[in-house]
A and B are shown apart, each in its own frame.
Chain A
Amino acid sequence: MIVELDGLSRHFVVRRPTGRFRREKRVVRAVDGISFTVAAGECVGYIGANGAGKSTTIKMLTGILVPTSGRVRVTGLEPVRQRRELARRIGVVFGQRSQLWWDLPLAESFRLLAAIHRLEPAVARARLDRCVDLLDLAAFLDTPVRQLSLGQRMRGEVTAALLHAPRLLLLDEPTVGLDIVSKEALRAFLTEERRVAGTTILLTTHDLSDIERLSDRVVVVDSGRVVHTGGLAGLAAAAGVDRVLVVDLAEPAPPLEGVPGTRFLSAEAGGLRQHLALTGSAAAAVAAVSARVELRDLTIAEPDIESVVRRLYHRAAATRPAGS
């Protein structure tokens, strides 16, 4: 196992002034007994609402934070005690926190990281050239990092995290705030990286498309606890949240009931726009719809991660034995 968590918890003590001299102590159970494993070569999506404990977990995996209790092993190492050894084996990207040298050209950051990881110049060059090529970095290699756009910087961060060919890549909200093109470039690159190098990936995100494009499996957390683990196919279904196909028709039509792979939800504008819940593949559904009526336009509304998580959480709460 590349990642092993067993009953891992991290509590924070927050002090809030409640009077002139009094301060109230409150314990936040950011991570509250989480167990799961990630096998070599897997890509696992670690998802949950804001404040669910995702970043706190990632920080314990990297040795930044000391667990309050429980066990954690990453590539067989104990993160806090063997932090430096571990840093050679993992790559980490925090969407909110840059690891590049702010005032230096991007290329200089890569040169420094190659020195830090004691890479052979030829090896570093080859890996860098590949990233430059696949992520289209050439145009801004000589630009100081502080002048890069978020999308450019993020591509730089991912390259920086992968330069030393880590066994495990940890991504904490790598696509937050990115435009569609940058998101897509990043997803394609990560898919390619997995295919070529077999890098294990654990990623947190707010974007269900990231999960769908990249991960084999998800672990859903809420309030510091795992509320669901499993394959992707089951995710939206398990939550009872559907993707919705919205079709605009050339002419008003009666409700599109009984289209294979869909369930009719509602119609607007006298049947010009119809909403169908997708129960199967979107492509098959679109084909089936266009066999019946003439399509002018269509969109697919993804369920947002927050509502998926909320539904799963209520499900977990309902099935949990009373009093626990």
Chain B
Amino acid sequence: MTVYAALLRAALAGQAGYRASFALELLGSVLVIGLDFVEVYAVLTQVPELEGLGLAEVALVFALASTGFSLADLVIGQTDRVTDHVRRGTFDVLLLRPLSTLGQLAAADVQLRRLGRLGTALAVLVIALSQVEVDWTPARVGLLVLTPLSGAVIFGSLFVAAGAVSFWLLDGREVGNALTYGSGYLAQWPTGVLGPVLGRFFTFVVPAAFTGYLPALALLGRDDPTGLPGWLPWASPLAALAAAAAAALLWRTGIRHYVGAGG
């Protein structure tokens, strides 16, 4: 752990020489999520409810999913750099050290501006929680704490999977970004708005619904209008584990396809 901390410090020291304005970068990061929220706000002032949820409740869905996503983006969003490492052959260097490749990638390319997004997501979460009615029980408190973490694992798995794709497709970055940022965007909405097919896809194939919508239902004590069982929201950690296992397998397989660059 101390090794990765040292790598992290080194990365930040290295970036310091290039950073034009950290404040500006941070602002940009806040704006991205801010605009996403404006969209939620705008829709919910036009229609009173989405899938039976009002503005404050949809904001809770939004905040839970965004917190998980921002955490994942901060820790492992750097996998979008895999394409460059593969193209230039610099992935070699990561493989030559007695460390995990993902750990090195996370530490070496860390982007602190992503803290802006995480901070904003947490702020929306606090505000949303103050506006909704929750019958707090120890289990619900536990779920509230666990949700951003399992959300981060689920989105982190998507980031890793998207990075792994670069080992096969050199032009895979756009596909990868569509998968990660696309899922992150959709997860901010009640899953039902996606329609039956896409809704099930983003629940059982890409488990995005487990990061915001389903935990929000459990906190609010509501049933899913599309008929998903009431215990399902409580299975978020399991969904996270399954996603992580699948991503790890994909990553390992991807590394074995790494061919490097000549020289």
Contact = CB atoms under 8 A, between A and B. Distances in A.
Contacts of B13: 103-104, 108
* Most chain B CB inside 10 Å of its own CB: which residue of A64, A99, A103, A116: A64
B37 to A, nearest CB: 36
Given A64-B260, A96-B263, A112 B98 contact: no
A112 B7 contact: yes
B92 A115 contact: no
Contacts of B262: 55
A85 B98 contact: yes
Contact of B3 (A66, A80, A85, A115): A115
A48 B77 CA distance: 42
B259 A87 contact: no
B46 interface: no
B10 A101 contact: yes
B54 to A, nearest CB: 50
A104 B260 contact: no
Interface string B77-96: 00000000000011011011
Range, interface on chain B: 20 to 34
A147 B90 CA distance: 19
Contacts of B89: 97
Interface string A53-68: 0010001001111100
Interface in B248-263: 256, 258-260, 262-263
A88 B98 contact: yes
A97 B17 contact: no
A25 interface: no
Contacts of A80: 256
Contacts of B95: 62-64, 83
Interface string B85-113: 00001101101111110000000000000
Given A87-B96, A116-B3, A116-B98, A104 B14 contact: yes
Contacts of B96: 62, 64, 87, 92, 99
B17 A103 contact: yes
B93 A99 contact: yes
Contacts of B98: 84-85, 87-88, 116-117
A97 B85 CA distance: 12
B88 to A, nearest CB: 9
Interface string B1-18: 011001100100111011
Contacts, number: 67
A65 B259 contact: yes
A64 B256 CA distance: 8
A104 B9 CA distance: 11
A116 B6 CA distance: 9
Nearest to A96: B263
A102 B93 CA distance: 12
A12 interface: yes
Given A84-B98, A102-B14, A104-B13, A66 B7 contact: no
A85 B97 CA distance: 9
Contact of B92 (A59, A104, A108): A59
A44 B210 CA distance: 57
A46 interface: no
Contact of A94 (B15, B100, B259, B263): B263
Interface string B163-178: 0000000000000000
Nearest to B93: A99
A319 to B, nearest CB: 31
B65 to A, nearest CB: 35
Contacts of A59: 92, 260
Contacts of B14: 101-104
Given A12-B259, A64-B258, A87-B96, A97 B10 contact: no
Interface in B168-216: none
A115 B262 CA distance: 30
A64 B259 CA distance: 8
Nearest to B15: A103
Contacts of A63: 95
A62 B256 CA distance: 13
Given A59-B260, A80-B256, A97-B263, A64 B10 contact: no
Given A64-B95, A65-B259, A65-B260, 18 more contacts: A55-B263, A59-B260, A62-B95, A64-B260, A65-B258, A66-B256, A85-B98, A87-B98, A97-B90, A97-B93, A102-B14, A104-B13, A112-B6, A112-B10, A115-B3, A116-B3, A116-B7, A117-B98
23 contacts: A12-B259, A55-B262, A59-B92, A62-B96, A64-B258, A84-B99, A88-B98, A97-B90, A97-B263, A102-B14, A103-B13, A103-B14, A103-B15, A103-B17, A104-B14, A111-B6, A112-B10, A115-B2, A115-B6, A116-B6, A116-B7, A116-B97, A116-B98
